[in-house]
Amino acid sequence: MMTADALRTRFLQFFAQRGHQVVPSSSLIPHNDPTLLFTNAGMNQFKDCFLGEEKRDYVRAATSQKCVRAGGKHNDLENVGRTARHHTFFEMLGNFSFGDYFKKEAIAFAWEFLTQDLKLDKSRLYVTVFTDDDEAADIWHQQEGVPRERIFRFGEKDNFWSMGDTGPCGPCSEIFWDNGPGVGCGRPDCAVGCDCDRYMEIWNNVFMQFNRSADGTLAPLPKPAVDTGMGLERICTVMQGVTSNYDTDLLRRIIGHIEQLSGKGYGADGDNDVSMRVIADHSRATAFLIADGVLPSNEGRGYVLRRIMRRAMRHARMLGFDTPVLYQTATFVLETMAGAYPEEAKRAAFVAKVVKNEEERFIQTLGNGLRILQEEIDRLRHQGATTIPGAVVFKLYDTFGFPVDLTADIVEKDGFALDEAGFDRCMAQQRQQAREHWKGSGEEGIASIYKQLAEQGLQVEFTGYDKTADFGTIV
Ligand code: ATP
Ligand code: MG
Ligand code: MG
Ligand code: MG
């Protein structure tokens, strides 16, 4: 079996042998870019190279990039646990050309890597191109011999890639793997483009040609460029002969750790399995975000992290844990990934302290909040209602620390929705009152705990340009 570590190395070597500079992953906090919440793709750190604003001493690069897609433009938080292929944290393998090669070579490299180096079965691969990109379709067919009926055309949503609302963008061409008829929706018309897990997108080749400005206009880049991204977890799924990312070595060993801690087996119970997957996924995001300097807080990046952590903590409770456990799984993540991420692994003790502190505090209120929510559900059900009032959602948020998406997630299985407009009104009202009698916020107490921790255990490096990170990068 090819491990994730071996695959990551193999990819980087393949491109190094073809003139690419291997560049380390950048931080999950996108430095110098206030338009991005978290690093969401390999190209982020090269944005200025694509725009022609930065010159490096290489024109070809390859990376394995840490990414988080929770909040912001590419938000996959709601997909986690529901699909076999989406994570909040994942690693993106990528090769890049800054005005050097373009479509022909990019397609040739991708196909050679998959079908010759990894020896994937061509009869399970499909490709897509942007609606009118005949050039790319012809390259796939004439140069690589891919039959026309295996080449699909899709529009803007799938085949025109943008980093965010502004920035480099362009038409793209994607490669899909057929997980087989036993996987996914099972509908007779299931095909590439279906949202289910059967036809899994593995690799996106973006032909960067434009810069989108704030008013939406597209200006051509100084030179056409290439940006590609392949999810390491997904190509592991293919290479390890499984059909879910959670069955690859990367995720399965975390689930194994959760099995040990909980005494419950994976695969024995559907609800427990979902909880184990959510905890495994969120432990990775938690570990890497904190290692990169994000701390749980009530706004911005810190709040996205807090939401991820609290969701995992609730699932831990569903699995039967009544004492902190996420700090252990997060530490396990960093320890088992130390080979590829030695710097992050050095921060494992700090990560554990932050997570444990957050978990101890939340466990105190989680049980009470859940009880109140259950009473509310019972009461509403009696009345035949299906909407949780905004005031209840707000009380859970304000008094019990329940992020709104956590409450939504909890009540969904009972067929309930939230009165979000009502929640917003409560929130606005509270802000107004807070402005009228401000006495200092409780949050400062927490912030000072983290500050003390940071002072005891770590040096904190000022990162200057980053406007929203609380304490900069922890070194
Ligand atoms: P999908 O359609 O499956 O959500 P995407 O089109 O949003 O993927 P891209 O932005 O094209 O993804 O990113 C390039 C590659 O990164 C994808 O082809 C996939 O292999 C991987 N990838 C994207 N999102 C995730 C995720 N949430 N978890 C794991 N891998 C991902
Ligand atoms: Mg997506
Ligand atoms: Mg896609
Ligand atoms: Mg894509």
Domain 4-239 CATH assignment equals 3.30.930.10: yes
pLDDT digits (tens, 9 = 90+) for 300-345: 999 999 999 999 999 999 999 999 999 999 999 999 999 999 999 9
66 lines ligand 1 (CB under 6 A): no
74 lines ligand 1 (CB under 6 A): yes
C-alpha span between 165 and 170 (Å, rounded) = 13
Give the mutation target among 40, 91, 92 for probing the ligand 1 site: most ligand atoms within 8 A of CB.
92
pLDDT digits (tens, 9 = 90+) for 193-215: 999 999 999 999 999 999 999 99
171 lines ligand 1 (CB under 6 A): no
Among the listed residues 309, 351, 311, the one whose alpha carbon sits nearest the alpha carbon of residue 334: 351
How many H-runs (helices) and E-runs (strands) does the chain carry? 16, 13
Assigned token pair, 135: 């050039």
212 Cα: distance to centroid of ligand 1 (angstroms): 21
Beta strands in 34-111 (DSSP E): 60-68, 89-97
pLDDT at 475 over 80: no
199 lines ligand 1 (CB under 6 A): no
- Please give the pLDDT value at position 439: 61
Neighbours of 30 (CB within 10 A): 22
- Please give the pLDDT value at position 72: 77
CA distances from 9 to 27, 63, 93, 228, 351 (A): 19, 10, 10, 17, 27
Give the mutation target among 85, 202, 281 for probing the ligand 1 site: most ligand atoms within 8 A of CB.
85
The whole-number average pLDDT for the span 368-372 is 94
- Please give the pLDDT value at position 463: 37
33 lines ligand 1 (CB under 6 A): no
- The ipTM assigned to this model is 0.99
Domain edges within the chain: 4-239
Scored b (16 or more CB within 10 A) or e, 213-244 reads eeeeeeeebeebbbbbbbbbbbbbbbbbebbb
203 lines ligand 1 (CB under 6 A): yes
φ/ψ of 161, rounded to 5, equals -95, 135
CA distances from 363 to 283, 289, 308, 326, 475 (A): 17, 21, 15, 11, 29
Chain CA centroid to CA 373, Å: 29
144 or 445, higher pLDDT? 144
Contact of 282 with 80, CB cutoff 8 Å = yes
List of residues 6+ apart from 204 with CB closer than 8 A = 161, 172, 173, 174, 175, 228, 229, 230
Point out which residues pair with 130 in neighbouring strands.
154
Among the listed residues 364, 398, 392, 365, the one whose alpha carbon sits nearest the alpha carbon of residue 377: 392
C-alpha span between 159 and 130 (Å, rounded) = 5
Nearest residue CA, atom 4 of ligand 1?
A: 86
pLDDT at 141 over 80: yes
Given pLDDT bands bounded at 50, 70 and 90, which one contains residue 284?
very high
In sequence order, what DSSP letters do the residues of 449-462 get, joined into one string?
HHHHHHHHH--EE-
CA distances from 394 to 88, 363, 414 (A): 26, 19, 19
- Out of 89-98, 285-294, 398-407, 433-442, pick the least confident: 433-442
Among the listed residues 176, 172, 167, 186, the one whose alpha carbon sits nearest the alpha carbon of residue 146: 176
- Out of 268-277, 308-317, 405-414, 446-455, pick the least confident: 446-455
229 lines ligand 1 (CB under 6 A): yes
202 Cα: distance to centroid of ligand 4 (angstroms): 8
Q: Which amino acid is at 165?
A: D
The whole-number average pLDDT for the span 41-70 is 95
Helix (H, G, I), strand (E, B) or coil at 296: coil
Q: Which residues are found with C-beta within 5 Å of the ion, ligand 3?
A: 201
pLDDT at 440 over 60: no
Percent of the chain residues past pLDDT 90, beyond the cut: 84
Among the listed residues 469, 453, 471, 452, the one whose alpha carbon sits nearest the alpha carbon of residue 461: 471
Sign of CA dihedral 57, 59, 62, 67: positive
Task: Locate the ligand 1 atom nearest the alpha carbon of residue 229 and give its number.
Answer: 14
Given pLDDT bands bounded at 50, 70 and 90, which one contains residue 438?
low
Scored b (16 or more CB within 10 A) or e, 50-76 reads bbeeeeeeebbbbbbbbbbbbbbebeb
- Which one-letter DSSP state was computed for residue 58? -
204 lines ligand 1 (CB under 6 A): yes
List of residues 6+ apart from 449 with CB closer than 8 A = 357
Helix (H, G, I), strand (E, B) or coil at 401: coil
Task: Locate the ligand 1 atom nearest the alpha carbon of residue 228 and give its number.
Answer: 14
Can you give the length of the chain in residues?
A: 475
- Which one-letter DSSP state was computed for residue 81? T
158 Cα: distance to centroid of ligand 3 (angstroms): 5
C-alpha span between 170 and 142 (Å, rounded) = 23
